[in-house]
């Protein structure tokens, strides 16, 4: 019964007022067993539901006790569908006197960014050109066909084999960028179609797992370069990153490896091993442990197709070696492209920045050219991609001037580099962090 009680026979009872909460109260609910978050000033209890979250329980848990409005709009396309799941989770709203942003985040930057997003929507920058993505898929099939024809026509000698491996590594890299598009729901309006084609591209074309990729990659986008939240900066003690971690390791006398030489051994254990060893093991174990039979079936279809194609030329063991050589080549491509926009940037503990500032501090761009666009899968526009993950990649260059303008207005650095400089900055950053560790370790 609402305030004022029954006003007469047949009168409609007023709904009970929605409970209100302060940020101080909300921020207490940021535990693994007790999670609240805020979207558009509405407070939701996601404690039980987070395990059912399609993007994984970790990514949504990273916003426990915080405002998740911009992340919510960044990751979801079909908002009406998503809100159906949110209704039962609603427990109240922010008290009227409370600001919309937590932890004293910059409200003006947030307002300006949301206005920028509306402008991008009005410019139809979230609308995909399906022919563009069809041509990307076609050129992957063309490369695979050329690779097979090379070894079929010229035989399995060293030179044809190396040429074939390079072509297949290129097709694998391009398939990786294409699955990334579907995984981010940036091609079709309906999420379902994106998910279906994503299973095909990452499973049948690459032999990997869509669910494994979703749960890992969305965490990276939600909290880029944040220790304990971004899995891409969890280096398992192999490297120390940024400025804080090396000093902490040094002061604690932690020396799992000679980190002052990490910019040198990076060439040995970074690019060569990430995909063929670490990712491959993690993907297979994830599918088996979590009984993800659909993803496993798609992955098996990739291996079946590969071995049926190349066993006649190399035999079974030879085909296994050939496959791992391809992954070895692809791994170099993947690591250098993905890390040139992140490792040289700010890597630290959670600082509770607004969405726009957090993405700009963790990402940088590489200059645009036809080659750079193709080589990186348009991840040379890493800043725009992180701000608008569901925006089709062919539109990222169109929104870039608007992002630059907003950065200039608020005095935020917008970094763009030549390709070779960006690649060099990876090892330069590792060398700098290694030296910080050594200084702290010795002194």
Of 103 and 65, the structure prediction assigns the larger pLDDT to: 65
* Burial class for 408, CB neighbours closer than 10 Å (0-12, 13-18, 19+): exposed
**What is residue 248's DSSP assignment?**
H
In the chain, the largest separation of any two C-alpha atoms, in whole Å, equals 93
Query: What pLDDT sits at residue 320?
Result: 97
Instruction: Specify whether the CB–CB gap between 351 and 389 falls below 8 A.
Output: no
Q: What value does the mean pLDDT take over residues 280-303?
A: 96
Calculate the CA dihedral of residues 322, 324, 326, 329 and round it to 10 degrees: -140
Q: Is 160 exposed, middle or buried (0-12, 13-18, 19+ CB in 10 A)?
A: middle
> What is the phi/psi pair of residue 19, to 5°?
-60, 150
Is pLDDT of 3 > 80?
no
User: How many degrees, rounded to 5, is the angle at CA 156 between CA 153 and CA 161?
Assistant: 100
- Say yes or no to pLDDT of 100 above 60: yes
Report d(CA 254, CA 441) in Å as an integer: 8
* Radius of gyration of the chain, Cα coordinates, nearest whole angstrom: 24
d(CA 378, CA 401): 16
* pLDDT tens digits along 5-59: 444 434 444 567 889 999 999 999 999 999 999 999 999 999 999 988 888 889 9
Q: What are phi and psi of 206, to 5 degrees?
A: -130, -15
**How far is Cα 154 from Cα 150, in angstroms, rounded to an integer?**
6
- Strand 42-45 and strand 90-94: the pairing is antiparallel
Query: In the prediction, which pLDDT does 14 show?
Result: 54
């Amino acid at each position: 019964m609402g305030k004022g009680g029954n006003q007469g026979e047949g009168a409609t009872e007023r709904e009970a007022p929605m409970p209100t909460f302060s940020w101080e109260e909300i921020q207490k609910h940021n535990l693994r067993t007790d999670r609240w978050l805020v979207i558009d000033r509405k407070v939701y209890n996601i404690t039980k539901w987070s395990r059912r979250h399609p993007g994984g329980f970790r990514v949504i848990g990273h916003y426990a006790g915080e405002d998740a409005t911009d992340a919510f709009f960044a990751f979801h396309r079909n908002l009406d569908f998503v809100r159906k799941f949110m209704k039962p989770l609603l427990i109240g709203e922010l008290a009227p006197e409370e600001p919309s942003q937590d932890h004293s985040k910059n409200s003006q930057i947030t307002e300006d960014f949301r206005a920028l997003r509306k402008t991008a929507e009005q410019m139809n920058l979230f609308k995909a050109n399906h022919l563009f993505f069809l041509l990307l898929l076609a050129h992957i099939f063309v490369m695979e066909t050329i690779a097979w024809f090379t070894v079929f026509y010229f035989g399995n000698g060293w030179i044809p084999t190396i040429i074939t491996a390079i072509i297949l590594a290129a097709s694998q890299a391009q398939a990786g960028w294409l699955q990334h598009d579907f995984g981010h729901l940036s091609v079709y309006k309906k999420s379902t179609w994106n998910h279906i084609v994503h299973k095909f591209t990452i499973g049948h074309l690459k032999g990997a797992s869509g669910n494994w990729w979703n749960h890992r990659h969305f965490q990276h986008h939600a909290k880029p370069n944040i220790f304990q939240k971004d899995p891409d900066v969890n280096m398992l003690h192999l490297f120390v990153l940024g400025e804080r971690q090396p000093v902490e390791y040094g002061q604690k006398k932690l020396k799992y490896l000679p980190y002052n030489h990490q910019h040198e051994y990076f060439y040995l254990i970074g690019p060569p091993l990430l995909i063929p060893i670490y990712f491959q093991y993690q993907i297979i174990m994830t599918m088996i442990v979590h009984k993800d039979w659909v993803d496993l079936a798609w992955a098996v279809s990739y291996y079946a197709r590969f071995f049926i194609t190349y066993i006649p030329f190399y035999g079974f063991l030879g085909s296994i070696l050939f496959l791992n050589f391809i992954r070895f080549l692809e791994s170099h491509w993947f690591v250098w492209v993905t890390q040139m926009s992140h490792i040289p940037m700010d890597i630290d503990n959670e600082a509770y920045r607004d969405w726009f500032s957090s993405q700009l501090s963790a990402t940088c761009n590489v200059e645009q050219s036809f080659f750079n666009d193709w080589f990186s899968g348009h991840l040379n526009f890493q800043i725009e991609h992180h701000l608008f993950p569901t925006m089709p990649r062919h539109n990222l260059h169109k929104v870039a001037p608007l992002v630059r303008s907003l950065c200039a207005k608020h005095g935020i650095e917008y970094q763009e580099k030549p390709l070779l400089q960006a690649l060099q900055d990876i090892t330069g950053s590792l060398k700098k962090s290694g030296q910080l560790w050594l200084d702290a370790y010795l002194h």
